[in-house]
Structure 1
Amino acid sequence: MSTTLGASRPDQAAYMLRAAAGGAGRAYKQELLDLLDVRPGQTVLDVGCGPGTDLPALADRVGASGTVIGVDRDPAMLAEARRRTDGLPAVEIREADAHALPVDPGTADRAKIDRVLMHVADPAAVLAQLHLATRPGALIGLAEPDWDTLAVDAEDLGTSRAFTRYTTSDVVRNATIGRSLARHAEQAGFVVETVLATTPVFRDFQDADHTLGLGRNMQQAIKDGHIDEARGRRWFAALSEGPFFASFTLVSVICSR
């Protein structure tokens, strides 16, 4: 892989599928699904289902008598989700914004939102919609990163810190939603049952560059005047030479309705 800054932004469906397939992605997703305790015959709502990463596993758990509703607003994501779930009659794909969920009140026995609240305009409004869409006694799984905890090892620690600050302030809309996830859930009327923090670790530079956007976000930080160009390019080139380490904290919350 070239160490030239400014690689084009990856196809979002492919990006999400690759991130989910990595070791860290598989581990927390499996834990989240296990804690949701999805059972045969239930209705499960996957808000921001993206390319349908989790829909087949949810369909397997609800069985022939259950329903899985995947909601996303991106037509490209929905097209991939439909492709991945073709032949799974339990799965319904619906195009809508998370702020206006296309389900009747009290529809879902289980629901999940995975790395979606960090992007939305109003996380509280989305959780209020989720509260309306779920039944009393329902279980809800939430998972969000806290990008303020992004740590990238480099001899130039100052540039690593500047990169994290830029990611938090300019790249991700709600960059610290992970740390406040339990508070938001309680304020939406849910009862928080479990809070977990995991730390995805990246030892491979190319995987980290793909998932964390090291090159493309550094280029934007340089363009916006947050980081000196020569310094940013030296930092990125040094990272590519290895050995490499980066991590961040991902918070998962299980709550009940």
Structure 2
Amino acid sequence: MNRDLGAPRPDQAAYMLRMAGTGRTYKEQLLALLDVRAGQTALDVGCGPGADLGDFSRLVGAGGRVIGVDRGPAMVAEARRRASGPAPVEIREGDAHALPVEPGSVDRARIDRVLMHVDDPAAALGALHRAVRPGGLVGLAEPDWDTLVVDADDLETGRAFTRFTTTVAVRNATIGRRLARLAEEAGFTVLTVLANTPVLRDPEVADYALGLGRNTRKAIDAGHIDEERGTRWFESLSQGPFLASCTVFTVICSRGVTPMADPDEASSHI
């Protein structure tokens, strides 16, 4: 494990491509629940370097269309370079709060770990509601950083690290638990709510994914964690069996469709 608490933030495109594999379980679940069909138009908001656009292209087929939107020019360029598949893939530079798509033109849409970063999640969901056709399905996935746990003997420093993550490091840290409510407030009908808790056992992978070293350093510098305790806590993470986890919430919703009343089905998603 890299013991440099001042390690720089990894390249954003490289980070997103690597993390696409780490969260494969909830991503596959979300994609299956979206029920993407041949000939449809699928939208990926905050597509980053386009790691998941190929899945949409494969599902909508040659008669469909895939649109990826990202506000970062470097991400847009990388997504265009990587774009491939049977369906046309169009990458557009734009903001989640003002999506560059025609109103009511999208059959399926996804926002994956993007709302935790935006200025106004409610406004972004409102823009998405305008973009989706009546009856269209939307998949949302966001972590709830209050659920971040890192196993170590020093529980208080671990809790301080989580508090720093939720209050300073991540803009909308509790967006996961708020997804269903915000979706309903934006006009969507919530069909399914799921929670997945990926478990990381490799400290190197966790350091890369969760920014353990760099965020411990930031927390120390900001006075949230004592330097000696923070350094000792971080170094202890690579000195034995490791475990860290954080819950990711997935919400599937529709525009203008009432879900079937099925108590058994509903209870299975709680």
Q: TM-score, normalised by structure 2?
A: 0.93
CA distance in structure 2 between the partners assigned to 1:134 and 1:192 by the alignment: 14
Offset at residue 2 of structure 1 (A): 2.9
- For 1:191 and 1:89, how far apart are their aligned partners in 2? 29
Partner of 1:9: 9
Q: Could you tell me which amino acid in structure 1 is paired with residue 29 of structure 2? A: E
Once the two structures are TM-superposed, the CA of residue 187 in structure 1 deviates from its matched residue by 0.3
CA distance in 1, matches of 2:148, 2:85: 40
In the TM superposition, residue 90 of structure 1 has moved relative to its aligned partner by 1.2
Moved over 6 A (4+): none
| 1:232 has 2:230 as partner | yes
Q: Measure the CA separation in 1 of the matches of 2:100 and 2:217.
A: 38
| Conserved 8 A contact 1:20-1:26 | yes
In 2, distance between residues paired with 1:190 and 1:208? 34
What displacement does 1:103 show? 0.6
Shift of 1:241: 1.4
Contact map agreement 2:58 2:87 (CA 8 A) in 1: no
- Give the equivalent residue in structure 1 for 2:97: 99
Q: What is the match of residue 82 of structure 1? A: 80
Q: Is the 8 A contact 1:13 1:51 kept in 2?
A: yes
CA distance in 1, matches of 2:183, 2:248: 16
Q: CA deviation at 1:75?
A: 1.1
Contiguous gaps of at least 5 residues in structure 2: 256-270
Contact 1:44 1:69 survives alignment (8 Å): yes
Residue aligning to 1:145: 143
* 2:60 alignment counterpart: 62
Give the Cα–Cα distance (whole angstroms) in 2 for the partners of residues 73 and 242 of structure 1.
41
Q: Is the 8 A contact 1:205 1:242 kept in 2?
A: no
In structure 2, the partner of 1:108 is 106
Give 1:87 shift: 6.6
Shift of 1:242: 2.2
Who is 1:215 aligned against?
213
Give 1:6 deviation, angstroms: 1.3
Identity of aligned residues (%): 70
Match of 1:50 in 2: 48
CA displacement at 1:79 relative to structure 2? 1.5
Mapped to 1, the partners of 2:24 and 2:63 lie a distance apart of 27
The CA deviation at 1:215 is 0.2
Structure 1 residue 89: Cα displacement: 5.2
Aligned equivalents of 2:85 and 2:61: distance in 1?
13
Distance of 1:53 and 1:2 partners within structure 2: 26
Instruction: Give the aligned residue type for 1:6.
Output: G
- How many pairs does the alignment contain? 255
The alignment's TM-score, normalised by the length of structure 1, stands at 0.97
CA distance in 1, matches of 2:9, 2:197: 24
Match of 2:195 in 1: 197
**Letter aligned with residue 253 of structure 2:** C
